[in-house]
Amino acid sequence: MGIQKKFLLLLLAWGAPMAFSQSLDLSLNAEQSRAILEGGISYDILRYPTDVSFDYPEGHLSFNVPLDLTTSQFEMPLEGVDSSFAPRIGARQKVNFSFRINVPMLGGVVSYSQTENVNFGFNMNLGSIIGMDTVTPMEDMGNLTLSLKGAINAPIRYRMGWRTQTFGYAFKPTKNMVLAFNLHKHLFELDANGIVNTNILGNVGIDISNPAISKDLGINYSENDVFGQVRGNFSGSAWSPAFGLKWWRLTATARLGVNTKVKGHFLMKWKLPFFIDPNPKSFKVEEDQLLITDIPQDDSGNVNVSELMNKMQTLEGKLDRAETDSFKIDTKTDLEFSIPSGYTLSFDLIRDHLSFSYTYVRGAISAYHQDEQGVTDLNLGFEVNHVMLMNLSLFRANLTVGAFVIDFYEMNKKNWLSESAGIDILGGVPVPVLNLSTTIGGAARILLELDILPIPAGKTGIVYYF
């Protein structure tokens, strides 16, 4: 995503790094540019394994209510780009189904569930018309000119999913005690697909007054000359257990984490004009490859016409051939994916009405990847910890209030959120939690749930008591 975005910005700010710089007369039409972030999170995997009925079977089916928000007034301050650049940006909540059934049998309760824990997607299309005309004066010599017209179209799609199948069993060794064991099968998948099609027309020129030399060179790069591709997929699975103990008004839960290797491949390649460095770590316009800013002079300080014409002929040959430079990453090494362990202690202050819980999380939800040469090209993770919640239940209404701390790291930059926000409490940035829910009906009940904080979301479903 970032690489293609940088490519667009470089096209927009083409002449910015010239030795004799001036403000560009830039006109950008971004009506075709849009970005949609899709996301869905289900917290059903965090339910207590001991929270089952020993009296009757029950089934749960729930899903997020899709929400869609799109705007054309998104502010994007970009260096070298005028204020008219306003792509359409939006957010859409994914459905994220969750299914669970509990059946009293075998001296206890047997459970089975399928939960879409996390579904994230990013659909982007960078589609714009580029218009650029600039004249840069050279002291006592003349002018350099650059004119570009073109279009860019880059549809790109990213998706990440984490689903869980859970097999559980709970029983009562004594009247006031419940023991439970869950076995989770985690299914992971990440994929990316994208292309970059570009057409660039224009000219670069030089106009020297003494001696009188004027030369214009055409620039013509079609989508057959300049293109890019991103393609990748990683998928795999892993097992992890969870244990629960409920005694009197105390409930203890341990969810063990997992570290697994996910197999797949990733391909990133493109061809760019020769005057752009294609390496994503040093992505930039190499102005000396396109503009002759260093005018050769003889010992008397006059323009060396012969050497200047040689430079112009060399540049003309590269432009006539639509010469390009390329970059490619093609890796099939495994990606490491980690899920942290979590330990929860809950106390019912007023049985079935008011409870408090605390969860300590050890580790991070993280992904790590090295290429065939052992170079780390992916290292990121989310750290969520110290989850403190109060749950109030009255009749069929439930209110959950609380907070947790969160942080994020990427490559060598640790504690990204807390350092950026200037807040560090218990190792992260505090985030509030506020949730409301209720059920309507008899044996078959409709679930209505609203997440207000930290991320607004609606949820509904059916709870059926057999």
pTM score of the predicted model: 0.75
pLDDT at 70: 52
Whether the Cβ atoms of residue 255 and residue 242 lie closer than 8 Å to each other: yes
For residue 80, pLDDT over 90 is answered with no
Please say if the pLDDT value at position 241 is more than 80.
yes
pLDDT confidence of 74, banded at 50, 70, 90?
Answer: very low
Which residue is it, tokens 């065939």? 372
Q: Which residue has the higher pLDDT, 8 or 247?
A: 247
- Which one of 19-33, 148-162, 326-340 scores highest in mean pLDDT? 326-340
Contact 428, 418 (CB under 8 A): yes
Amino acid 86: pLDDT? 52
Q: What percent of the chain has pLDDT over 70?
A: 78
Contact 360, 280 (CB under 8 A): no
pLDDT averaged over every residue in the chain? 80
Return the structure tokens found at 458.
């609606």
Any domain includes 131: yes
* pLDDT at residue 21 in the model: 26
Tokens standing for residue 196: 């970059």
* pLDDT higher at 290 or 313: 313
The answer to whether position 432 is within a domain reads: no
Q: Which 3 state secondary structure label does DSSP give 242? A: strand
- Residue 72's pLDDT is 46
Task: Write out the two tokens for 92.
Answer: 């859409």
pLDDT tens readout for residues 153-201: 778 888 888 899 999 999 999 999 999 999 999 998 988 898 878 788 8
Task: Name which of 48-57, 64-73, 248-257 the model is least confident about.
Answer: 64-73
Is 299 within a domain?
A: no
What range defines the domain where residue 97 resides?
Answer: 24-270+334-339
Question: In angstroms, rounded to a whole number, what is the distance separating the alpha carbons of residues 79 and 29?
Answer: 16
Q: Does residue 127 fall inside a structural domain?
A: yes
Q: Residue 3: pLDDT band by 50, 70, 90 thresholds?
A: very low
Domain membership of residue 197 (yes or no) is yes
* Mean pLDDT across 34-53: 79
User: Is 176 within the bounds of a domain?
Assistant: yes
Residue 412 in tokens = 């060598």
Residue 6 placed within a domain:
no
Say what the pLDDT of residue 127 is. Answer: 63
Calpha distance 148→131 (Å, rounded): 6
Look at the chain and report how many structural domains it folds into: 1
In a domain, 185, yes or no: yes
Query: First CA to last CA across the chain, in angstroms?
Result: 48
Report residue 122's pLDDT band, with 50, 70 and 90 as the boundaries.
confident
The model's pLDDT over 424-445, given as tens digits with 9 standing for 90+, comes to 899 899 999 999 999 999 889 9
Q: How far apart (Å, rounded) are the C-alpha atoms in residues 72 and 411?
A: 33
**Percentage of the chain lying above the pLDDT 90 cut:** 34
pLDDT in tens, 442-455: 889 999 998 888 87
